[in-house]
Amino acid sequence: MISPAMHRPAESPRSSALGRFASPVLLLAAMWIIQFADAVLPGSFTGFGLRSWDAAGLAGIALGPLLHASWPHLIANSVPFLVLGCLVAVEGGRRFWAATAIIAIIGGIGTWLVNAPGTVTVGASGLVFGYFGYVVMRVFAPGRVSYRILYAVVALIVISLYGGSMLAGVFGVRAGISWQGHLFGAIGGALAAFAGRRPRASVGGRRE
């Protein structure tokens, strides 16, 4: 008897890649749609951002990264979000959304606690810094040696492209920009790189 699984067509590398990268693309598209709606509808959506030391403002942990204060704010975040988000999504959509959730929660709670009471924080830069932290720290997470070497190469490229701006985003920010969101987002990304990972057992009980 032939198993139905034998008739299942193999997934092509191209369709697999498109499926993986769909997650960050869709999330970025949602940000643009929300920003357009904010521009044409009365009022402002930024009030739904993360409001520090306000229990009701904790909803901004989920909503804040989707909101932006202006079009230039969104445009500035879009390219690094897409580049770094796709690097995280290489490991699959499920891993991307898990990392995004961890970054949003840790980044949001840290910002909520450290920012001045009543401060409203919006924007995807916390996720951007989180993805950066994820890609860099992924080198040290358990996994096959060949994969870790590949991630080391990717991390070096990412650091050379974004390392300076990331440091400036924490230590050299101007007024009105949340270094707290950047810092705790990066911490969340670093922790997400290790979350749920265990050394893989190999033959003879050794681990790789």
Residues spanned by the domain of 195: 4-205
Q: How many domains does one find in the chain?
A: 1
Q: Indicate if the pLDDT at residue 75 is higher than 90.
A: yes
Does residue 131 have a pLDDT over 90? yes
Q: What integer pLDDT is reported at residue 173 of this predicted model? A: 66
Which two tokens mark 186? 């990066």
- pTM for this predicted structure: 0.84
- Give Cα separations from 196 to 20, 155, 180, 199 (angstroms): 19, 21, 26, 10
What does the pLDDT average to over 38-61? 93
Count of C-beta atoms within a 10 Å radius of residue 157: 12
Residue 184 has pLDDT above 70, yes or no: yes
For all residues of the chain together, what is the average pLDDT?
Answer: 85
**CATH code, domain with 185:** 1.20.1540.10
| Residue 48 reports pLDDT greater than 70 | yes
| Separation CA 65–CA 49 (nearest Å) | 8
